[in-house]
C-alpha cells in the first residue's frame, strides 16, 4: 500500500516520533524502487511538489493542525522529516546520474561504427600538385614567396617601367596607407608569382631550376571565369647556354605529361616586360581533341579554335638579371627561361566545371565530388 499522510489525533512526543519514523521509512522504501529517470521524477514530485506533495500535506496536517501546546514539538519533527526526505531524494538522484553516465561510457561493440567522412584534396590544389610533380620529375625544386609583396619585387625588378599600367589600381590591389613610402617599398598583393623569381635568384646562385606555386590577386570582380584571388605556378630555369629550344622542349614535355602524349603545343609571340622574346603557349584542346567541335556542337572551352592558351613564357630579360647580377647572374654569362600558368582555369577544364566560383565557395556538396 502506498504511503498516505493521515491526520494526527495524538500529538504526544512519542506519537509524533512514530509518525515521523513511518514517513521516513516509507520515503526510503520508495527511493529504492526508482529504476528510471521517469520513476525519479514522479518520486520527487510525489514528495516535494508544492501543491499537494507529501511534505506539503505533512506541513498542513501535522504542523498547522497541531494544538498550540504541541506546535513546538511538531515543528521539530516536521523539519526533521523535510531534511531526511531531501537527503533521500538527493541520494536517489545521485544514483540515477551514476547509472546513466556509466551507460554512456560503456561501449556496445555490436553497434555499427561511426563513418567519418574522408577529406578530399581540393581540385585546384590537386591540379597544382600534379603540375608541380611533373616538374619535380625533371629535377625542379619548389620555392615559395610572400603574397603581400613590395612594388620592387612585383614590378620594378621585373623590368616594369615606372608608370606601367599594370601598377594601376585597376589590376593591382595595393595595401592602404603606403603613400608616404618610396614607390619600391609600397606593399601590394602580388599580381603574379614572378616576384619569387627575383627572391629566389637573390638567395640561390645559378644554376637553378624551380617551380613556384601560390596564390595571386588582381582587382577583378568575381564571375564564372574571374576571381580576385587565383593560383599560378611559375617556373624558372637559369644556367649557362639555356636556349629557347630548351624552353620549348621542357614545356612540350610537361604538357604531354599533364594532358596526354597526343597533345600538340604551339607558341605564339607575346610580350612581358621580364622576358624577351616572350610567347604564349597553346595546347590542342583536350576537350575536343583539336577539332573545335563536340559532335555536331561547337566546342566551348576552346571557342571552336581547337587550341587552349595555358601559359605565358619567354627567355629571362637581361634587364632582370641586372637586378641580381651580384649573386652570379651576369647576363653575359647566364641565360634562362621562365613561364607562368594559371592553375584554376586548367582545373576548370580538367574537371569540366563551368563556374570558377564553385572552387572558392567551400560548399561541401561540390567539393565532396572530388573525394
Q: Mark the segment that binds ligand PHE (CB under 6 A) among 43-51, 133-141, 240-248, 309-317.
A: 309-317
Q: Which residue is nearest to ligand PHE (CB)?
A: 340
Quick check: 157 and 150 in contact, CB under 8 A? no
Cβ partners under 8 Å of residue 35, min gap 6: none
Rounded CA-CA distance 7/14 in Å is: 16
Q: Name the one range near ligand PHE by CB under 6 A: 113-121, 180-188, 310-318, 319-327.
A: 310-318
Q: According to the binding rule CB under 6 A, does residue 212 interact with ligand PHE?
A: no
Say whether residue 200 binds ligand PHE (CB under 6 A): no
Residue 30 or 234: which CB sits closer to ligand PHE?
234
Residue (of 251, 203, 249, 209) closest to 336 by Cα position: 209
Report, in Å, the least distance between residue 177 CB and ligand PHE: 26
We find the least distance from the C-beta atom of residue 351 to ligand PHE, in angstroms, to be: 22
To ligand PHE, the closest distance from the beta carbon of 108 in angstroms equals 58
Positions in 272-301 near ligand PHE (CB under 6 A): 272, 275
d(CA 264, CA 281): 10
Q: Output the CA torsion 251→335→132→292 (10° steps).
A: -20
- The candidate with the shortest Cα–Cα distance to 215, out of 236, 234, 187, 235, is 234
> What residues from 335 to 364 belong to the interface with ligand PHE (CB under 6 A)?
338-340
| CB of 20 or CB of 247, closer to ligand PHE | 247
Characterize 109-146 residue by residue with b for buried, 16 or more Cβ atoms within 10 angstroms of its Cβ, and e for exposed.
eeeeeeeeeeeeeebbbbbbeebbebbeeeebeebebe
- Minimal distance, residue 362 CB to ligand PHE, in Å: 26
Rounded to a whole number of angstroms, the minimum distance from the CB of residue 208 to ligand PHE is 14
Least distance (Å) between residue 110 CB and ligand PHE: 59
Task: Please report, as ranges, the residues that interact with ligand PHE according to CB under 6 A.
Answer: 192, 194, 234, 272, 275, 312-314, 338-340
Amino acid at each position: 500500500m502506498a504511503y498516505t499522510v493521515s491526520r494526527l489525533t495524538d500529538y504526544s512526543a512519542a506519537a509524533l516520533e512514530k509518525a515521523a519514523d513511518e514517513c521516513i521509512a516509507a520515503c526510503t522504501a520508495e527511493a529504492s524502487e526508482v529504476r528510471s529517470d521517469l520513476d525519479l521524477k514522479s518520486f520527487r514530485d510525489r514528495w516535494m511538489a508544492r501543491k499537494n506533495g507529501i511534505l506539503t500535506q505533512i506541513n498542513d496536517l501535522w504542523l498547522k493542525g497541531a494544538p498550540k501546546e504541541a506546535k513546538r514539538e511538531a515543528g521539530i519533527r516536521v523539519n526533521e522529516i523535510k531534511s531526511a526526505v531531501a537527503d533521500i531524494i538527493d541520494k536517489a538522484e545521485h544514483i540515477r546520474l551514476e547509472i546513466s553516465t556509466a551507460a554512456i561510457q560503456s561501449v556496445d561493440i555490436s553497434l555499427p561504427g561511426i563513418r567519418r567522412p574522408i577529406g578530399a584534396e581540393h581540385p585546384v590544389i590537386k591540379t597544382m600538385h600534379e603540375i608541380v610533380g611533373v616538374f619535380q620529375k625533371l629535377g625542379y625544386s619548389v620555392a615559395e614567396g610572400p603574397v603581400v609583396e613590395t612594388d620592387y619585387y612585383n614590378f620594378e625588378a621585373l623590368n616594369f617601367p615606372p608608370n606601367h599600367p599594370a601598377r594601376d589600381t585597376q589590376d593591382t590591389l595595393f595595401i592602404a596607407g603606403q603613400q608616404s613610402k618610396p614607390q619600391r617599398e609600397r606593399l601590394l598583393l602580388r599580381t603574379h608569382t614572378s616576384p619569387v623569381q627575383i627572391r629566389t635568384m637573390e638567395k640561390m646562385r645559378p644554376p637553378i631550376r624551380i617551380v613556384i606555386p601560390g596564390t595571386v590577386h588582381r582587382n577583378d570582380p568575381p564571375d564564372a571565369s574571374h576571381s580576385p584571388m587565383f593560383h599560378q605556378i611559375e617556373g624558372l630555369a637559369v644556367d649557362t647556354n639555356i636556349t629557347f629550344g630548351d624552353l620549348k622542349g621542357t614545356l612540350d614535355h610537361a604538357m604531354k605529361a599533364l594532358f596526354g602524349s597526343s597533345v600538340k603545343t604551339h607558341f605564339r609571340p607575346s610580350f612581358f616586360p621580364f622576358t624577351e622574346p616572350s610567347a604564349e603557349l597553346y595546347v590542342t584542346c583536350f576537350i575536343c581533341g583539336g577539332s573545335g567541335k563536340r559532335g555536331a556542337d561547337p566546342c566551348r572551352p576552346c571557342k571552336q579554335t581547337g587550341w587552349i592558351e595555358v601559359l605565358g613564357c619567354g627567355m629571362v630579360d637581361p634587364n632582370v638579371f641586372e637586378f641580381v647580377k651580384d649573386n652570379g647572374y651576369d647576363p653575359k654569362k647566364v641565360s634562362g627561361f621562365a613561364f607562368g600558368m594559371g592553375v584554376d582555369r586548367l582545373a576548370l577544364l580538367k574537371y569540366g566545371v563551368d563556374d570558377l566560383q564553385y572552387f572558392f565557395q567551400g560548399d561541401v556538396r561540390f567539393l565532396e565530388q572530388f573525394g
